[in-house]
Amino acid sequence: AQSVTQLDSQVPVFEEAPVELRCNYSSSVSVYLFWYVQYPNQGLQLLLKYLSGSTLVKGINGFEAEFNKSQTSFHLRKPSVHISDTAEYFCAVSREGGSYIPTFGRGTSLIVHP
Amino acid sequence: DAGITQSPRYKITETGRQVTLMCHQTWSHSYMFWYRQDLGHGLRLIYYSAAADITDKGEVPDGYVVSRSKTENFPLTLESATRSQTSVYFCASSPGRNSGNTIYFGEGSWLTVV
Select the more confidently predicted residue: A52 or B34.
Answer: B34
Lowest mean pLDDT among A27-31, A71-75, B81-85: A27-31
Tell me how far apart the alpha carbons of residues A21 and A74 are, in angstroms, rounded to a whole number.
Answer: 9
Q: What is the pLDDT of residue A65?
A: 98
Whether B1 has a pLDDT exceeding 60, the answer reads: no
- B43, B48, B100 ranked by CB distance to A51: nearest: B100
Q: What is the pLDDT of residue B91?
A: 97
Tell me how far apart the alpha carbons of residues B73 and B57 are, in angstroms, rounded to a whole number.
Answer: 17
B105·A101 Cβ contact <8 A: no
In chain A, what residues touch B45 (CB-CB under 8 Å)? Answer: 101
B106·A43 Cβ contact <8 A: yes
In chain A, what residues touch B92 (CB-CB under 8 Å)? Answer: 44
Q: What is the pLDDT of residue A105?
A: 94
Mutate to test the interface with A, among B103, B107, B109, B111 (most CBs of A within 10 A): B103
Q: What is the pLDDT of residue B98?
A: 76
A34·B45 Cβ contact <8 A: no
A8 CA: distance to closest CA in chain B (Å): 14
Whether A89 has a pLDDT exceeding 60, the answer reads: yes
Reduce the secondary structure of B87-113 to three states and give it as a string: EEEEEEEECCHHHCCCCEECCCEEEEE
Lowest mean pLDDT among B9-23, B34-48, B59-73: B34-48
Whether A112 has a pLDDT exceeding 60, the answer reads: yes
Q: Are B102 and A36 in contact (CB under 8 A)?
A: no
pLDDT, tens digit (0-9, with 9 covering 90-100), for B91-104: 999 998 777 788 99
Whether B2 has a pLDDT exceeding 70, the answer reads: no
Lowest mean pLDDT among A39-53, B27-41, B96-110: B96-110
Q: What is the mean pLDDT of residues A19-46?
A: 93
Q: What is the pLDDT of residue B40?
A: 80
